[in-house]
Amino acid sequence: MQQRIIHGATVDFVTPDEIARILPQPPQRTRIRVPGTVQLDATGAGRDDLYKVPVGYGFELRRVVLTLTGNIQADPNTGNVLLNAAGKFVAYLRSGSLIEYGQPQYGAAVQVPGVQHWGSEEGPYLRNGEVLQVQAAGLTANVVLGIYAEGILERPGYGEGNGHGA
């Protein structure tokens, strides 16, 4: 249908955000895997962004595998760095703020290479554009810290069709 618009008249249009609020959106739950690397410097330190959570979503970190050989598998008993000494750590950050210190394990040792995992609602949680970062210090000099993270990405349902309204 055509509408005649005259000079000086006002027209009220619906915005894309208003349309999105009234359309039913089913909840979405997806398991994702995020690989990353951090180039460590001469002191074995480095920091890098691993994953930026999309706006409107939440991300629960469930598992992190850390290696000292980048994307190449290696024997975790060779060249490992124990994290129970001063100046040696791995930390998980939320947009620059500390979430927790990493406790990756292999066998009974807290070390890199190793794996850390959390159950439902136990691990780091990020949302709405926050960035998961990994920081390390005191590891092996001038190597690549390989990071393999897995978690659950969720978007809650919204809109009039599911009781959440505009």
- Chain mean pLDDT for the chain: 88
Per-residue pLDDT at 8: 77
Residue 150 confidence class, pLDDT cut points 50, 70, 90 = very high
User: 51, 95 in Cβ contact below 8 A?
Assistant: no
Per-residue pLDDT at 159: 55
**Distance (Å, whole) CA 153 – CA 2:** 44
- Report whether pLDDT(66) > 90: yes
Per-residue pLDDT at 11: 74
Half-sphere exposure of 9 (CA within 13 A, CB side): 8
Per-residue pLDDT at 161: 43
Residue 5 confidence class, pLDDT cut points 50, 70, 90 = confident
Return the higher-pLDDT residue of 121 and 103.
103
Residue 23 confidence class, pLDDT cut points 50, 70, 90 = confident
Return the higher-pLDDT residue of 164 and 98.
98
- Find all residues with CB under 8 Å of 26, minimum gap 6, and list them: 157, 162
Q: How large is the average pLDDT for residues 4-18? A: 78
Task: Among 40-44, 46-50, 67-71, 113-117, name the one with the lowest average pLDDT.
Answer: 67-71
Q: How large is the average pLDDT for residues 23-48? A: 93
Locate the DSSP E strands across 68-164: 81-82, 89-94, 97-101, 105-106, 109-112, 114-117, 125-127, 131-137, 144-155
Task: Report domain extents, the chain.
Answer: 16-159
Per-residue pLDDT at 3: 67
Cα R_g (the chain), whole angstroms: 22
CA 127 to chain centre: 9
- Find all residues with CB under 8 Å of 136, minimum gap 6, and list them: 38, 40, 44, 45, 46, 47, 89, 90, 91, 112, 145
List the structure tokens of 30.
């997806």
Residue 1 confidence class, pLDDT cut points 50, 70, 90 = low
User: Given this structure, which CATH class describes domain 16-159?
Assistant: mainly beta
CA 129 to chain centre: 10
